[in-house]
Chains A and B, each alone.
Chain A
C-alpha cells in the first residue's frame, strides 16, 4: 500500500509538467481518473471482489482548461543536465519555432512546436532573459503551462563571436565542397546554426 503512495507522489511530479498527448486536446475537459468500462466488465464476471486499479487511476488527470485566462504563464525550461527554469511564472516567452519566432502568452492555445536553433526570451515584468537554444521542442498546454526542452541552452553572453565567425566561414566552405547528401546536410546545418548564433549576438 505504501508502494502505491510513493507511485502517486512520483506521478504527481511528472504529470504537473507533462500531460498525455491526446488528439483534439482543446475539446476535452479534465482527463478521467477511473477506467469505467474495465470496472463494469470486471463486476459482471467477479461481482464480489473490488476491481483492481488500472494505471489510469494512478495518473494525475490532465488539468482542465481554466474558464478564465490566468494572468501568468508557468514555464518549465529543462535541459538534459539541468533544469533552467522550473515552474517559473512569467508574462511571456518568445520561442524560436521552426515556423518562426512564436510569442506565447497566458491562455495560448495548446501547441507542440519544434524549435530551431535560435533565441528563447523570457519576459518577466521589465526584465528579459535570453538563451540561445540549439534545438528542441516546446509543449504549450491549455492551462497556460509551457514546457520547453532543449539539448543545449546558453545565455547569449557566453557565446564567443570570433569562434562563431570562424565556424561560419568553415562551414560555408564545406558546403561548397561537399559531395554526398549527408555531407551537404551536415554543412548546411553548420551554416544554419552559425548564422543563427551570429544573429543572436547582433540582434
Chain B
C-alpha cells in the first residue's frame, strides 16, 4: 500500500469524508423532480444541540435546527 496515497481534492482542502458525502447527497436531492424532492428535503433536516463542558459544568448550548421554532 502506498503510504499516504494522493489524497482526494476535498481531503487536501481540509474536508472530511462525511462532509463531502453529505454535500454530494444534498446536491443530488436538490436535483430531483417533484414530489420526490419534497420527500427528500425532509430527510435533510437536522436537529441537534451541542454544548461544551468546562470544569464539570455545561456552557450555553448551540442549537442547530432545521425545524421551525414554534
Contact = CB atoms under 8 A, between A and B. Distances in A.
Contact of A185 (B13, B31, B40): B13
A107 interface: no
Main secondary structure of the interface of A (DSSP, over half): helix
Interface in A110-167: 117, 132, 134-136, 151-152, 154, 158-160, 163-164, 167
A81 B43 CA distance: 8
B32 interface: yes
- How many chain A residues sit at the interface, stated as a range, is 20 to 34
B31 A135 contact: no
A202 to B, nearest CB: 14
A181 B14 CA distance: 8
A163 B1 CA distance: 41
Contact of A158 (B14, B15, B27, B32): B32
Nearest to B10: A185
A89 interface: no
Interface string B1-39: 000000011101111000011111101111111001100
Nearest to A197: B31
